[in-house]
Amino acid sequence: MSQAEIIPQPPVRRPALDPRFDTVFETRHLDLGGGATVAVDAEPAGHAALEKKLAKVRKKRNKLERVPLSKRLTAERADRHELYQLSVQSPEEDIAFLRKVYKGYRKKKARHFREDFSGTHLLARTWIQSGDGCTAEAYDFDPDPVAWGLHNNARSLGADAERLHLVLGDVRERSRKAPDVRCAQNFSYWCFHERAEMVGYFRSVYQDLADDGVFVCDLHGGGETQEEMEEEREIDAGFTYVWDQYRYHPIPGAAKNYIHFRFEDGSELYRAFEYGWRLWGLPEIRDCLLDAGFKKVDAYWEGTADDGETGNGIFSKAKRGEADLSWIAYLAAVK
């Protein structure tokens, strides 16, 4: 079907780990066309917002789908979610890493995956594509990226989309099925500024995982992360990605960052994305995970490229790391 068909289902109620997140969800199955049907959990108001956003996404994308990407790279025509996926995310590499980490601990293949702060649920889609019968859940409370992902990511799964379940809600809600692997990527969980909030989130993750589950999150650090600066990176598709560290306040550790996109015609998609984070240190996050109940937390440090300066995208277990001006690492927390 060309239109997304919404088929109401009986409400779903999951036991709450925290009474603040004792949410009554309604499950609806969205027929996205091309044989793709995806289950979505949300409150009634969330479904209404998602329907409205999805209609707008479909109208815009259907208008531009026949226009080559090179012709869409202007501030007026560009799609911010498309640009984000092209410049920030590397889903195949990320999923391969998550699978490798889990297998290293458990000596078996992970089957069920959950992506927190999932946005356009690109990782969840890639997880499903990476293994026969593998299933995934994705959680985000913003209907805008969720709607975009339904049309541009989930729809491409075809019949396999039935193995994807989306939840328009708080990441502290319980999963429908206990995940083998659960992740929070792109520092998204840094939206929690207080230690009690962070430990509470990690505790909900710990209690929700399968008995042999593993949680993986990324983080970055180094002196440059506290500087107020802009960093440009040329993207092969033909535009410039700009990471703008706009403000940093040392006492609360609070940062205000933006992403801009600049184009060859001189136009700019200004403040396409905005982030209000606390800059957490690696030892702080590790201690929060241990306090939440995880019995073991390992750090995976990025190796150095041949130029001796930049990272090479290969992450290995490490005990100390290096005093780089800017670094990225992963923490793997074992239940």
Quickly list DSSP for 200-250.
HHHHHHHHHS-TT-EEEEEEEESGGGGS-EEEEEEETTTEEEEEEEEEEET
Question: How far, in Å, CA of 197 to CA of 32, rounded?
Answer: 36
Residue 98 covered by a domain: yes
pLDDT in the model for residue 19: 62
Would you say residue 101 lies in a domain? yes
Are 69 and 152 spatial neighbours (Cβ–Cβ below 8 Å)? no
Write the single-letter amino acid at 261: F
Axis-axis angle for helices 80-87, 143-152 (nearest 10): 80
d(CA 31, CA 28): 10
Identify which has the larger pLDDT, 3 or 229: 229
Q: Within a domain: residue 16? A: yes
Looking at residue 1, its pLDDT comes to 38
Distance CA 282, CA 67 (A): 44
- Classify residue 289: in a domain, yes or no: yes
The structural domain count of the chain equals 1
Please write the tens of the pLDDT for every residue from 83-119: 999 999 999 999 999 999 999 999 999 999 999 999 9
* Residue 10 reports pLDDT greater than 50: no
Q: Residue 39's domain is classified under what CATH number?
A: 3.40.50.150
Per residue in 43-86, pLDDT (tens digit) is 999 999 999 999 999 998 888 878 899 999 999 999 999 999 99
**Domain membership flag for residue 32:** yes
For 271-327, the pLDDT digits (tens) are 999 999 999 999 999 999 999 999 999 999 998 777 767 778 889 999 999 989 999
State whether the Cα torsion 243-249-255-256 is positive or negative: negative
For residues 60 and 251, give the distance between their C-alpha atoms in angstroms, rounded to a whole number: 43
Task: Please say if the pLDDT value at position 244 is more than 80.
Answer: yes
254 lies in a domain?
no
The whole-number pLDDT of residue 18 equals: 64
Does 69 map to a domain?
Answer: yes
Average pLDDT value over all residues in the chain: 92
C-alpha distances out from residue 324 to 104, 221, 228, 284, 309, Å: 27, 8, 17, 18, 9
182 in a domain, yes or no?
yes
Average pLDDT estimate for 167-184: 96
